[in-house]
Amino acid sequence: MKTFECDCQAHQILFFESSSCLACGRIVGLDDNFDKVEPYNLDETTGQYFKAEEPEIRYQKCDNHADYKTCTGMVNLNTFVPVEGKDEVLCFACRFNETIPDLSIVEHIPL
């Protein structure tokens, strides 16, 4: 199984299904490239998330996490293009899933 490491002092091991780091408590998610699980910091004034090394890039949790807790995708708000007529904010995989369910993406298989 592929694992990742938090950048906090504990170097906590993170998994694809991790939603927060057990050591430092930060939110953990997958970015739009869906290749890396890493911690995000919360900007409490805006409610948006950002990576420590790229604070100018803002993220929001995928709506499928907010609604169903099924997805750990983080949506890059700097590049996000809303679907016309819809106000949902979905990560790359969930946007794709609306039309073609892709069960090769492990986090979309219900446990």
Q: Using alpha carbons only, what angle is made at residue 77 by residues 101 and 94, rounded to the nearest 5 degrees?
A: 5
SS3 letters across the chain: CCCEECCCCCCCEECCCCCECCCCCCEEEECCCCCCEEEEEEECCCCEEEECCEEEEEEEECHHHHHHCCCCEEEECCCCCCCCCCCCCCCHHHHHHCCCCCCCCHHHCCC
Q: Does 94 bind Zn ion (CB under 5 A)?
A: yes
x/- binding map, residues 38-67, to Zn ion, per CB under 5 A? ------------------------x-x---
Q: Does 14 bind Zn ion (CB under 5 A)?
A: no
Taking CB under 5 A as the binding criterion, the range among 16-24, 45-53, 80-88, 101-109 that sits at the site for Zn ion is: 16-24
State the nearest-atom distance from the C-beta of 45 to Zn ion, in Å.
22
Q: Does 21 bind Zn ion (CB under 5 A)?
A: yes
Q: Does 73 bind Zn ion (CB under 5 A)?
A: yes
Select from 13, 24, 57, 77 the one that contacts Zn ion (CB under 5 A).
Answer: 24
Instruction: Note the residues at the interface with Zn ion (CB under 5 A).
Output: 6, 8, 12, 21, 23-24, 62, 64, 71, 73, 91, 94
